[in-house]
Structure 1
Amino acid sequence: MDDFIEIQLGSSFLINAGICGLIKLLEFSKAEEGMDYEINGQVMKLSKEFLMSRDISDLYVKAMVNNFKETTRFYDILQKRHIVESIYAGKEELSKDDIDNINKIFKEAVQMLEKNSFKSGYIILNEYYNISKITDEIIARLKKEKNLEKEIGAYLEICNILDKPEVQEVLIFKELMYSKMNMFLGDTSFFLSANLKKDIRECYKKDFVQPLLDEVAGTKKKTKRCIECSNLAYNTKSISFMIDSTDDVSRKKSHYWNLKPDAFVCPVCAFLYTLVPLGFQFLGSDAIFINNNSSINAMCRIMRTYESKDDENLQSTNKSKFYRIFTDQKIDMLENKIYNIQVIIKSKNKEHFEINVISKDTIKKIVDCKKHLKHLERKYIKQNDSFISVYDEVIDNIFFKRSQYQLMHELFLYELKNNGNTNYIKDILMIEITFRGGVSMNSIKKNVDISWRAGIAMRNKLTETVQEKDIDNSLRSLVYKLSNALSVGNCEQYLDSIIRVYSGKGIPIPYIFKECYESEEMFKAIGQGFILGLKYNDYESNNKINIGGE
């Protein structure tokens, strides 16, 4: 037991994300499970020998770079070297398009190379790795040279420098500091202004690795209590370096720790904090972590499902990508004894974490609504100068336990105003009924389908002599009346309009409308179903989703 340090899943998602990050670091280092570390349920044991014998600072930098490399601007721009070479190779004369493409690549490269974070990286590479700096003069040649051949020569010279492993590690890490890591970490170690031109590994070793090693190897009496794991330690560190966890402790102000000024953690937990960026999964500029306390392996397995989905379905919002995991049949949450989990989202443009606690029942209902949610993934409406994701609005209503009827009413009026397709709103209606649940859920769904088909039949009857292009306009008055009555819950007014339209056509009123008196919920569902039937289109128009008879 003394040969290992013990790490447990905690109540803090930060520590749990750090554990996921630690496992990624161990896997990158080719550490052997069973020898270098052990995982048993909620407990992980990490070999002291592994920590003492390996260069943890070097592993930290390399693991970060390896994990995020292909998502960086640096990687993208360096890959474009092959585009320049392929355009230039074997051509006696370049077309205007060729020259424009090359100049665009050069401009992107210059913008990246002139960033202050990269300039500090050049100094580190020169002073600590004895690698020639990318000077302002070299960049100026690429920026101002009028002779294309010389300009390409300067570009390739720069690429040769950027291609060196040491250069890639330092500059990619510098980019990650301000694109991903600063969403979680700041004001410590390599982030401090005094350390920006110092060796990253040495800064990290001094502030996090050496205290960890001293803690592991030390024999002094431990007297300081860690706020995370509650263990005693020789030394503790303020958690003020964690973004959205606390402000400077000296100000006695804290967000995450409920305004407690005594927010200090042991070296083990501080080390885990620095691995939080590795534990989260990034989709675009946002990051997600699924905090599942059932076991370490289950938590990591869930997070791995995102790794193959980063470029999938690019038209979907990040939120739809985040929550699609709960409809993935490979996830065995429903079979395991998981009663509540946290979904933590950190957006680049938001100061705080977004935390949703999702019950097992909610997960099951999301799975049940998989088909309907899928239909909404690419559905947007324009509001002023921006586009609103219908999927996001529906998901927010689910997690904030709001009814979908107000959203359905607003979407219906929007589509009515813009002559849009309303078919997708039926998906939202079915989601609403599913989440309302209850013993009458299946009965309500059945009645919605009946009223929806009645609406389609009435649409056909009312428009049988109307030209295709005029159909929606001919129904507009009736649809508005029904929609307004439904939005205020006026069953009598709604049914009065129904009676008038059926009587006017000499058609028997479908028995389904009698069910409207059963309950307010039944009235809303049947009423909405009939209106959606009146507006139903059996074709796909203007990139709207066609749900047919589903």
Structure 2
Amino acid sequence: MIDFKMGDWRTNVSILGLMNILDHSNLKYDFSKDKQSLLIENEIFENFEKYYFSYFIDTYEKFIPWYRIANYKDNVEEYLNNLSEFDEAKLKDLNNQIDIVKDYMRRKNYIKVYELIDENIDIEEQVKNLNKINLKKGEELKDKLEEVELELNKLKEIIKYVSTDRARDYMGAKGVIYSYINRGIDGVSFLFRQTKERDIFIDYKNYFIKPLEEYLDEDKEKYKFECFSCGSKIKNLSINMNLVKNTGFDSARKTSNIWNHESDFAICPKCQFLYSCLSAGFFYFMNEGIFVNYNFDLEGLQIINNNLKENAIAEINRPENAISYRTLISTIEKQYERHARFELNDIQIVRYIDDRYKFNILSKEALKIIIDSRADINYLVKAGYRDGSTNFSIYDLVIDKVFNNQNLYSLIHFLIVHLISEGAGFQRFYNIHHISRILNINSRIIREEEFMTVEKDRGKLTDLSKNAGYHLRKNYMDNMKDEKRVNNRMKSITYKMLNALKTNNSGSFMDTLINTYAYVGKPIPIYLVEALKSDDGLRIVGYAFVAGVNSYDDRKNDGGEDNDK
């Protein structure tokens, strides 16, 4: 039996990937008593290369080129059985599919495996002979039906070839290698450009499995080196960490990064095998991947990431990104409900974006804010804006700041400015009610209960300030009796207050506050004055008050909905 112990994020995501591969093929494994180590039998390695590629192919089948070719079978059958109904829309569809087939199946990566699929079929020649059907001026489609039938039958034979089990194995493996596996590892085995082994299954076995099996049988007592990752004894430094993509440097070419120019940045065959599973631990959608490094135990690690995948799949048809923060937060809430101690642990979130890793630490404080702010956060799901040609999700912007332990004042300021102004190239899909929810979240971030001296008002400063601003607006309306004039006056007041807030100028803010209340003949609430004695108090009161004076129903063309109240 061999064990893999939890460690840094690379180790943990690789262990999760290994578990995913084993689960997919219904293979057994176990945990240590503390659930910190994965235990598997050595017999599993006998056909592991098949289990390995099967996981990736089955998981991402609908997103690889092989599927786009094989899945056209029903279209071909329908067109052949109803040739009399074949129209120009179907011709366009057929020609597009012919382009897809000729594009993918003439690529070098696929050509290399054709002889492994069926050496008796010259599939390259079949693809070469496949031709699009173009209507010349004056020609009618009905005169081309024989040609259509001919090309459909050619395509049918190609699809028949592609649909075999061996074609799916090899073409499917090529698809996942260059779309998913290479996001985690690169430059070795079947991902080494100069590899001499055409059979990717054999290449994987020779590079990752055989060295591991030999290593397990070796007497390591006299080995003087240690694995950089797990600390196991190793004979030499021949295997380095460079196979893990974008997490290190080339120690052979850049020796200046190494102490005394001599590298000990080496790993054992056991870790080399484990890291080959790294990509199986991420959940990928489009160009993005995500992994939650919950390191309390392997059971929790598996549950939280499996829930993440399930939530993401459920979100695929929504306008938000399938692995957006919304998906992540939903997953975290489920884990929180499962495990009370979950709240006490900081969590590392690893996102794979634009061929790079992005790391966030979700601290226990940030987690508490998210759990306590569930209603406010969920309210922001559809809120956003377009600046130029770029769309922004306010939900994601808020969560990103929470993850990074930042307050929300700069975002609130930005949103209010664009709420009351008409900027060229800016479209808003939010309203003051969304900003009010962000203020609620921010009050928890900054712990506003510390800014009130009156016990009964502790934790209520944001709400009190919003209400004060709202009622001031009503008083202006009672005095002016003209909504347009009131709106213009509120904009003027808002601009003055925002300028004061931007520079932390409590004197300027107070002057504006005095003038506004003097106009309606009302006293300034004492809690507003008390809070202005500190910079934090100024911002709490200021932004909440500004939100209040702009609290009218502005739901037209802003993405708001009637149920967002």
Which residue in the other structure is 2:263 paired with? 261
AA of the residue aligned to 1:341: I
Other structure's SS at 2:432 match: coil
Which residue in the other structure is 1:542 paired with? 557
Q: Give me the whole-angstrom Cα distance separating, in 2, the residues matched to 1:125 and 1:261.
A: 42
Q: Give me the whole-angstrom Cα distance separating, in 2, the residues matched to 1:545 and 1:257.
A: 58
Which residue in the other structure is 2:40 paired with? 46
Give the conservation status (yes or no) of the 8 Å contact 2:451–2:531. Answer: no
Q: Give me the whole-angstrom Cα distance separating, in 2, the residues matched to 1:485 and 1:75.
A: 59
Which residue in the other structure is 1:526 paired with? 541
Give the conservation status (yes or no) of the 8 Å contact 1:344–1:356. Answer: yes
Q: Which runs of 5+ in 2 are unaligned?
A: 136-146
Other structure's SS at 2:555 match: coil
Other structure's SS at 2:302 match: helix
- Aligned pair 1:286/2:301, yes or no? no
Give the conservation status (yes or no) of the 8 Å contact 2:466–2:547. Answer: yes
Between 295-304 and 362-371, the greater mean CA deviation after superposition: 362-371
- Aligned pair 1:98/2:102, yes or no? no
Which residue in the other structure is 1:449 paired with? 463
Which residue in the other structure is 2:212 paired with? 212
Between 72-81 and 254-263, the greater mean CA deviation after superposition: 254-263
Other structure's SS at 2:89 match: helix
Cα pair distance change 1:47/1:137, threshold 3 Å: closer
Which residue in the other structure is 1:343 paired with? 349
Which residue in the other structure is 1:391 paired with? 395
Q: Which runs of 5+ in 1 are unaligned?
A: none
Which residue in the other structure is 1:436 paired with? 446
AA of the residue aligned to 1:418: E
Cα pair distance change 1:88/1:322, threshold 3 Å: same
Cα pair distance change 1:531/1:256, threshold 3 Å: farther
Q: Give me the whole-angstrom Cα distance separating, in 1, the residues matched to 2:310 and 2:531.
A: 47
Give the conservation status (yes or no) of the 8 Å contact 2:21–2:52. Answer: yes
| Structure 1 segment 477-516 matched on structure 2, within 5 A | 477-516=492-531
Cα pair distance change 1:58/1:256, threshold 3 Å: farther
Give the conservation status (yes or no) of the 8 Å contact 2:517–2:524. Answer: yes
Q: Give me the whole-angstrom Cα distance separating, in 1, the residues matched to 2:374 and 2:289.
A: 23
Which residue in the other structure is 2:142 paired with? none
AA of the residue aligned to 1:343: I
| Structure 1 segment 220-299 matched on structure 2, within 5 A | 221=221, 223=223, 224-234=225-235, 237-252=239-254, 261-299=263-301
Residue 86 of structure 1: CA displacement? 4.2
Give the conservation status (yes or no) of the 8 Å contact 2:4–2:37. Answer: yes
Other structure's SS at 1:297 match: helix
Which residue in the other structure is 1:62 paired with? 54
Cα pair distance change 1:197/1:103, threshold 3 Å: farther
Residue 131 of structure 1: CA displacement? 6.3
Between 270-279 and 316-325, the greater mean CA deviation after superposition: 316-325
- Aligned pair 1:356/2:360, yes or no? yes
Q: Give me the whole-angstrom Cα distance separating, in 1, the residues matched to 2:204 and 2:217.
A: 19
Cα pair distance change 1:549/1:384, threshold 3 Å: closer
Cα pair distance change 1:222/1:237, threshold 3 Å: farther
Which of 2, 6, 23 is equivalent to 2:3?
6
Other structure's SS at 1:328 match: helix
AA of the residue aligned to 1:363: L
Count of paired positions: 537
Q: Give me the whole-angstrom Cα distance separating, in 2, the residues matched to 1:20 and 1:361.
A: 26
Q: Give me the whole-angstrom Cα distance separating, in 2, the residues matched to 1:343 and 1:305.
A: 15
Residue 192 of structure 1: CA displacement? 1.5
Give the conservation status (yes or no) of the 8 Å contact 1:257–1:263. Answer: no
Which residue in the other structure is 1:303 paired with? 305
Other structure's SS at 1:424 match: helix
Residue 281 of structure 1: CA displacement? 1.5
Q: TM-score, normalised by structure 1?
A: 0.87
Cα pair distance change 1:93/1:321, threshold 3 Å: same
Other structure's SS at 1:344 match: strand
Q: Give me the whole-angstrom Cα distance separating, in 2, the residues matched to 1:254 and 1:291.
A: 31
Which residue in the other structure is 1:177 paired with? 177
Which residue in the other structure is 2:192 paired with? 192
Which of 103, 123, 128 is equivalent to 1:134?
123
Q: TM-score, normalised by structure 2?
A: 0.85
Counting aligned pairs with the same residue, the percent is: 22
Q: Give me the whole-angstrom Cα distance separating, in 2, the residues matched to 1:229 and 1:193.
A: 29
Other structure's SS at 1:458 match: helix
Q: Give me the whole-angstrom Cα distance separating, in 1, the residues matched to 2:466 and 2:64.
A: 49
Q: Give me the whole-angstrom Cα distance separating, in 2, the residues matched to 1:110 and 1:7.
A: 44
Tell me the alpha carbon deviations over residues 47-99 of structure 1, each in whole angstroms, 9 at most, x when there is no partner.
12333xx3122222222222322343433553344345446643623343333
Residue 188 of structure 1: CA displacement? 0.6
Between 67-76 and 302-311, the greater mean CA deviation after superposition: 67-76
Give the conservation status (yes or no) of the 8 Å contact 2:311–2:331. Answer: no
Other structure's SS at 1:345 match: strand
Residue 164 of structure 1: CA displacement? 1.3
Alpha-carbon RMSD:
3.2
AA of the residue aligned to 2:296: S
Cα pair distance change 1:468/1:405, threshold 3 Å: same
Give the conservation status (yes or no) of the 8 Å contact 1:334–1:360. Answer: no
Q: Give me the whole-angstrom Cα distance separating, in 1, the residues matched to 2:471 and 2:253.
A: 69
AA of the residue aligned to 1:194: Q
Q: Give me the whole-angstrom Cα distance separating, in 2, the residues matched to 1:133 and 1:40.
A: 56
Between 413-422 and 22-31, the greater mean CA deviation after superposition: 413-422
- Aligned pair 1:118/2:107, yes or no? no
Q: Give me the whole-angstrom Cα distance separating, in 1, the residues matched to 2:220 and 2:157.
A: 54
Give the conservation status (yes or no) of the 8 Å contact 1:215–1:234. Answer: no
Cα pair distance change 1:454/1:222, threshold 3 Å: same
Tell me the alpha carbon deviations over residues 340-366 of structure 1, each in whole angstroms, 9 at most, x when there is no partner.
22111111x243x21222222221212
Cα pair distance change 1:166/1:41, threshold 3 Å: same
Q: Give me the whole-angstrom Cα distance separating, in 2, the residues matched to 1:247 and 1:524.
A: 45
Q: Give me the whole-angstrom Cα distance separating, in 1, the residues matched to 2:80 and 2:5.
A: 56
Q: Give me the whole-angstrom Cα distance separating, in 2, the residues matched to 1:289 and 1:298.
A: 13
AA of the residue aligned to 1:213: E
